Amino acid sequence: MLRITRLTDYGIVLMCYFAQHEPGFARSARDLARDTHLPQPMVSKVLKVLLQGGLLESRRGAQGGYLLARLPAEISIAAIVRALEGPIAMTSCTTKGEACVRAASCPARPNWMRINNVLNDALDDLTLADLVQPAVQEDDLPAA
């Protein structure tokens, strides 16, 4: 499995939750945790990262909460993943190339770029608005 951390998992769940409501829909971390049945401290952690990534806005103090910084159609899945996990790449050698001691001799080194490009392009093109469209067909499942 191409793994993402659970933090990212939760992040996408939460962003989808926002996207399913009207624009400007705001909610506290506690309420979000309750509605999505996710552990509350985790939710707070995720919301903070998404805030720092510019995907959410926050209102502090009583009656405060979080809301989407942009419209769902303007938020790509790639942006969410990048906010929570950093650059979308399958191996670290492509993001911090100089760190790999095998760079000089690695036969795959130049090729990872192609793989990463494919992934980036694919996730860049998919927005929250796409995700919350109701119709999901069963024969739309992956071949694997």
Residues that bind DNA in the complex, under the rule CB under 7 A? 3, 5-7, 9, 28-30, 39-42, 44-45, 47-48, 51-52, 58-66
Write out the DSSP string of 44-88.
HHHHHHHHHTTSEEEE-STT-EEEESS-GGG-BHHHHHHHHHSS-
Kindly report the number of other CB atoms within 10 A of residue 47's CB atom.
23
One-letter amino acid for residue 42 of the chain: M
CB of 70 to DNA, least distance (A): 17
**Which does residue 39 bind out of a copy of itself, DNA, none, counting CB within 5 to 8 angstroms by kind?**
DNA
Q: Please choose, from the candidates 95, 72, 99, the residue with its C-alpha nearest in 3D space to the C-alpha of residue 16.
A: 72
* 31 binds a copy of itself per the rule CB under 8 A: no
CA 60 – CA 28 distance, rounded (Å): 10
User: Which does residue 13 touch among a copy of itself, DNA, none (CB within 5 to 8 A, set by kind)?
Assistant: a copy of itself
The answer to whether residue 40 forms part of the interface with a copy of itself (CB under 8 A) is no
4 binds a copy of itself (CB under 8 A): yes
H/E run at residue 17: helix 6-19
Binding site for a copy of itself (CB under 8 A): 1-5, 8-9, 12-13, 16-17, 20, 35-38, 77-78, 81-82, 85-92, 95, 101-102, 105-108, 110-126, 130-132, 136, 140-144
